[in-house]
Amino acid sequence: MNTTPASTIISTTLLVIGGGPGGYIAAIRAAQLGIATTLIEGEQLGGTCLNIGCIPSKALIHAAEEFEKTRHYASGSALGITVQAPSIDIAQTILWKDGIVSKLTGGVAALLKKNGVQVMQGRAIIVDGKTVEIQQQGVPDQRIVCQHLLLATGSLAVELPGMPFGGNVISSTEALSPATLPKSLVVVGGGYIGLELGIAYRKLGAEVSVVEALNQVLPAYDMELTKVVEVSLQKLGINLHLGCTVQGLNQAGDAVVIRNAQGEASELPADKVLVAVGRTPRTQGYGLETLMLDMNGRAVGIDDQCRTSMRDVWAIGDITGEPMLAHRAMAQGEMVAEIIAGKKRHFMPASIPAVCFTDPEIVVAGQTPAEAKAAGVDCLTAMFPFAANGRAMTLEATEGFVRVVARRDNHLIVGWQAVGKSVSELSAAFGQSLEMGATLEDIAGTIHAHPTLGEAVQEAAMRALGHALHI
C-alpha cells in the first residue's frame, strides 16, 4: 500500500517563480491590481540582488572606501586630518552588511504580505504551462494550478571549466562574505563585477591582480570612459594583466597560471581566486525544458510584452538575457502585472541606464557616440570635465567627465555617459531626459543647483551648443 501523502492542489491566477527584484515587484503590482497571486521562492526573498549582489556589494564597497580614506589620512592629508594606525574588523563589517540585507529582505516579505501575495518557500518544478509542483524537505508535495505563469528565476555565476568554484576559487557570493581577508586575490575577469570587488579588496588591504582576456578593462564600455578607471586602478596598486588568458591553478593550488598574447606563461600568487567572467540565465533544475519554449541563445525568448512562445507564460529579468540589471527586471515585472490586469503596455524604454560602481563610477544611458554613428545618426558630442566643476574640487574628485550625444539636426539627446565620483546619482537625470525626449536646449536652459556635480550635465549640453561657460 502506498502511504505517501497525496499532494494538495492550490489554484491561483498568477504564479511567479522567483522572488528577486523582478518577481516580487510583479507579484506586488499584480496583487495591487486585484489579481490572485502566488510567489514561489526556493531561497531568500530579494534574489541575487538583495542577498548576494547589488546591495551587499555596495555595502562592502562603502566600507572599503571608508577604510581606505582613514589609511589615506594616516599618511597626511591636505585637509589637515590625521588618524593613527587604522584597522578593520572584517567580521563586524560583514555583520553590518548582513544587517542591511536582512532589513531589506524583511521589508520585501512585509510588502508581499501587506499586498496579499501568497508566498511559498520551496523548490518549484514545472509540470506544464499551467501547473507547478513545490518540493520541500519533510513536507508533502504541493501543486499549484495557475492561469498565468511568470518565470523570474534570475541567473547564475559562470564557472570556468578548468577552475570550478570551491576551495580557494570563489564566486562573487563568497567574495561578499569573507571570514578573513586574503593577502593576495586574483580576479579573473575585468568586467564590472570583478572590478567592483577587486577594488574593494584592494582598499581593504589585499594585493589584487586582475586578469582580462581582452586589451581593456570593462570591455563592454567605450575606452574613453574606461581609461579613467584604468588610471585609478594603477594608482590603487592593482596589477592589470590585459590580453591574458587563465590556464588554471598551479599544482600547489596557490597561484593562477596565465598566458599572454605572445604565449608566455607566468604565475600569479593567490590566496583566493575570484572568478567573475559573467552570468548565465538560470534555466536548469526546475523543469523549464518541459515547456519547450523558444530560446534566444541561453536565454528565454520574449517579445516586447515579455510573453514567451507559450500562451500565458511570461519571463522577465536575467532569464531573458542582457542587460542583466535589477531595474530592468523590476520594470518588466510591473509591466507584466499590468498587462495581465488588462492594461495596454509594451516594454519600450528609451534607455536602461547601467552603472559600474568602480572607483571612479561609470554610468551610461542611451547611445554612445560610436553606437549613434553605427546607427547612421549624425550626432554632436560634447564633454565637460569634472576638473572644471567646483563641487568635484571640494570632494577631491576631479577625475572624469560628463558626455552628451545629440542629433545634429534637431538637437534631440540620444545618449549620456559619465565617469567620476558619485556619477551613479546622475543616472536618474540621464534616464529622464532620454525618456522625455529632451533637447540640448532643454538641458542647457534648466537651472542646475550650484555647487553640484549635476552642473556638469548642464555644461556638457551648453558646450554641445557652443557656449559652455566654465571651460
What CATH number does the domain containing 374 carry?
3.30.390.30
The whole-number pLDDT of residue 7 equals: 64
Residues 279 and 283: their CA atoms lie apart, in Å, by 12
Residues 105 and 329: their CA atoms lie apart, in Å, by 17
Cell digits of residue 261: 598574447
User: Is the bond into 451 cis (omega within 30 degrees of 0)?
Assistant: yes
Q: Is residue 295 part of a domain?
A: yes
- Could you tell me the residue range of the domain that residue 128 belongs to? 8-52+94-155+280-340
Asked if 322 and 400 sit in the same domain, the reply is: no
Domain stop point among 225, 259, 277? 277
The whole-number pLDDT of residue 201 equals: 98
Cell digits of residue 356: 559600474
Asked if 195 and 117 sit in the same domain, the reply is: no
Amino acid symbol at 160? L
Parts of the chain with a pLDDT under 70: 1-7
Cross-strand partners of 187 = 210, 274
The whole-number pLDDT of residue 174 equals: 96
The number of beta carbons lying within 10 Å of the beta carbon of residue 237 is: 9
Domain stop point among 259, 277, 295? 277
Instruction: Residue 241: give its domain's CATH number.
Output: 3.50.50.60
Please report how many Cα atoms fall inside a 13 Å half-sphere around the Cα of residue 254, on the Cβ side.
3
Domain stop point among 317, 340, 363? 340
Query: Global pTM?
Result: 0.94
Closest CA to 200 of 97, 121, 106, 298: 97
Question: Could you tell me which residues come within 8 angstroms of residue 109 by beta carbon, excluding any fewer than 6 positions away?
Answer: 45, 119
Judge whether 450 counts as a catalytic residue: yes
Coil vs helix vs strand at 207: strand
Cell digits of residue 47: 534574489
Residues 465 and 412: their CA atoms lie apart, in Å, by 12
Asked if 402 and 301 sit in the same domain, the reply is: no
Cα of first residue to Cα of last residue in the chain, in angstroms, is: 86
Q: Is residue 112 part of a domain?
A: yes
Cell digits of residue 7: 499532494
Asked if 193 and 143 sit in the same domain, the reply is: no
Q: Beta-strand (E) ranges in 8-158?
A: 8-17, 37-41, 118-121, 123-128, 131-136, 139-151, 155-157
The whole-number pLDDT of residue 136 equals: 84
Q: Is residue 88 part of a domain?
A: no
Asked if 291 and 207 sit in the same domain, the reply is: no
Asked if 139 and 34 sit in the same domain, the reply is: yes
CB 398 within 8 A of CB 470: no
With 0-12 / 13-18 / 19 or more C-beta atoms within 10 angstroms meaning exposed / middle / buried, residue 46 is buried
Asked if 367 and 451 sit in the same domain, the reply is: yes
Kindly name the residue from 72, 450, 467, 470 that is annotated as catalytic: 450
Cell digits of residue 54: 547589488
**Residue 229 region by backbone torsions, left for phi larger than 0, else alpha for psi between -120 and 50, else beta:** alpha
Residues 163-181: b if buried by 16+ CB within 10 A, e if exposed = beeeebbbbbebbbebeee
Q: Is residue 250 part of a domain?
A: yes
Closest CA to 176 of 105, 100, 234: 100
Cross-strand partners of 300 = 295
Q: Is residue 63 part of a domain?
A: no
Question: Could you tell me which residues come within 8 angstroms of residue 312 by beta carbon, excluding any fewer than 6 positions away?
Answer: 129, 130, 147, 148, 149
Asked if 328 and 268 sit in the same domain, the reply is: no
Closest CA to 367 of 385, 350, 355: 350
Asked if 379 and 440 sit in the same domain, the reply is: yes
Number of independent structural domains in the chain: 3
Residues 12 and 14: their CA atoms lie apart, in Å, by 6
CB 255 within 8 A of CB 188: no
CB 183 within 8 A of CB 206: yes
Residues 37 and 23: their CA atoms lie apart, in Å, by 11
Q: Is residue 385 part of a domain?
A: yes
Question: Could you tell me which residues come within 8 angstroms of residue 233 by beta carbon, excluding any fewer than 6 positions away?
Answer: 195, 199, 210, 217, 240
Asked if 284 and 295 sit in the same domain, the reply is: yes
Asked if 107 and 253 sit in the same domain, the reply is: no
Residues 232 and 331: their CA atoms lie apart, in Å, by 33
Residues 125 and 430: their CA atoms lie apart, in Å, by 41
Asked if 265 and 202 sit in the same domain, the reply is: yes
The whole-number pLDDT of residue 6 equals: 47
